[in-house]
Amino acid sequence: MFENIVDCMHDWVRVIDLNDNIIYVNKAMAKALNENPIGKKCYKAFERDIPCEKCVSRATIATGQPQQQEELIHNRTFSVMSSPIKDKDGNIIAVVEVLRDITEMKKLQKAIINQNKKLKSELNIAKKLQYSLLPKEIPNEYVEFSYIYKPCDTLGGDFLDIFKIDTSHIGVYIADVSGHGVAASMLTVFLRSSIDKTIISPASALKKLYIEFNNNFSDQDLYITIFYAIFDITSNTLVYSNAGLNVSPIVLNPYTKTFKLLRVPGIPISNWVENPSYEDKKLILQNRDKLFLYTDGIVELKNNKNEQFGENRLIGVLQGNVESPGVILDRIIKAASEFAGIERYNNAADDITMALLEIKNSKD
């Protein structure tokens, strides 16, 4: 019965005595070797003149424990598992080897490793592209601007930009694309290239972006949430609109200790409706007012009690802080990381993106 079971196995099976002699092989092994190797030395069956340098069966005899290793036999790779055979008194009297041909599996593993290396290289190129699109220069001497951008994956779904529209207007937006990875990052590239930076109305620009999105991605499940604001340095006003961003940007003044949440509804850039409506709102700014933009990654950080960092704690860090935008953002990161018990934002579950724009002076 036992021999019939073993003979039905596709793997090779052989039994070797303590003197390296083969005392049994199953049918699969005998057929593959094209002979009956019983009585031969175990290594002679594989056309070797001396025992293997690291003999798995000798290791089994020495340790009394099963051993496994890979061996090259007739230009094929085998996984060899050797187990001890013991008599009724517990003495090892032989070993049984099961040899499985893993050549194709090893080729597949190598192909997967090479493909992963290629994918990693391509992801790094895409990452460099995405980072290269982030703002590098402040477009006007009347504002001070700083940001933090930290994707939770190699490629992020968050994005932001600040740019000069004309001599009197500065545009700034922050966006959060659903999901992460390549698809989300490619939508951030679409966003930067497609948003019309000549339109003075944020609502009109978002409406045009919505149409452009549906001309190209109407069959996709992804969507973009974006808050877009335009600062008029001649009138010291901020006009803003929102397409579904689920957190409210904040205008605050550390000297007067006042703040305002910029809440305005709007449909995300998506294929959800045929004719979305976006609304422009206007706010008169004071010197040293700050505009804080962020996505939900920072407020949704949780502590060990499953409590979120939240909007109130965020405002608490912002209020009364007269330091530069870059220093303030670092303070927010420190406070949120300590709250969540993580090392800065390196272990965050979502993208962390924030920006702070300070109105330094109005144009005469």
Domain that includes residue 81, residue range: 2-106
3-state secondary structure of 325: helix
> What type of residue is 156?
G
226 and 350, same domain (yes or no): yes
158 and 285, same domain (yes or no): yes
Question: CA 175 to CA 353: how far, in whole Å?
Answer: 9
Q: Identify whether 194 is part of a domain.
A: yes
Domain boundary among 54, 74, 106: 106
**Site of tokens 């608490």:** 316
Q: Identify whether 237 is part of a domain.
A: yes
Question: CA 314 to CA 328: how far, in whole Å?
Answer: 11
86 and 212, same domain (yes or no): no
239 and 137, same domain (yes or no): yes
pLDDT digits (tens, 9 = 90+) for 333-351: 999 999 998 875 555 567 8
Q: Identify whether 120 is part of a domain.
A: no
174 and 56, same domain (yes or no): no
243 and 314, same domain (yes or no): yes
222 and 295, same domain (yes or no): yes
The predicted structure's pLDDT at residue 107:
95
89 and 149, same domain (yes or no): no
The predicted structure's pLDDT at residue 344:
55
The predicted structure's pLDDT at residue 309:
95
Domain boundary among 45, 74, 106: 106
CATH number at residue 20: 3.30.450.20
Q: Identify whether 119 is part of a domain.
A: no
195 and 283, same domain (yes or no): yes
The predicted structure's pLDDT at residue 126:
77
Nearest to 160 by CA among 322, 362, 352: 352
Q: Identify whether 116 is part of a domain.
A: no
Show Cβ contacts of residue 356 under 8 Å, excluding neighbours closer than 6 positions: 145, 146, 147, 290, 291, 292, 293, 325, 326, 328, 329
CATH number at residue 165: 3.60.40.10
Domain boundary among 106, 138, 166: 106
Contact 187, 222 (CB under 8 A): yes
Domains in the chain: how many in total? 2
323 and 239, same domain (yes or no): yes
Question: CA 271 to CA 137: how far, in whole Å?
Answer: 34
Q: Identify whether 113 is part of a domain.
A: no
pLDDT by position in tens, the chain (length 364): 667 788 889 999 999 999 999 999 999 999 999 988 999 999 999 989 898 888 999 999 999 999 999 999 989 999 999 999 999 999 999 999 999 999 999 999 999 999 988 888 877 887 788 888 899 877 677 789 999 998 877 677 899 999 999 999 999 999 999 877 777 888 888 999 999 999 999 999 999 999 999 999 887 888 999 999 999 999 999 999 999 999 999 999 988 889 999 999 999 999 999 999 999 999 999 888 999 999 999 999 999 999 999 999 999 999 878 899 999 999 999 999 999 988 755 555 678 999 999 987 655 4
Q: What is the pTM of this model?
A: 0.74
Q: Identify whether 100 is part of a domain.
A: yes
Chain length of the chain: 364
99 and 142, same domain (yes or no): no
176 and 261, same domain (yes or no): yes
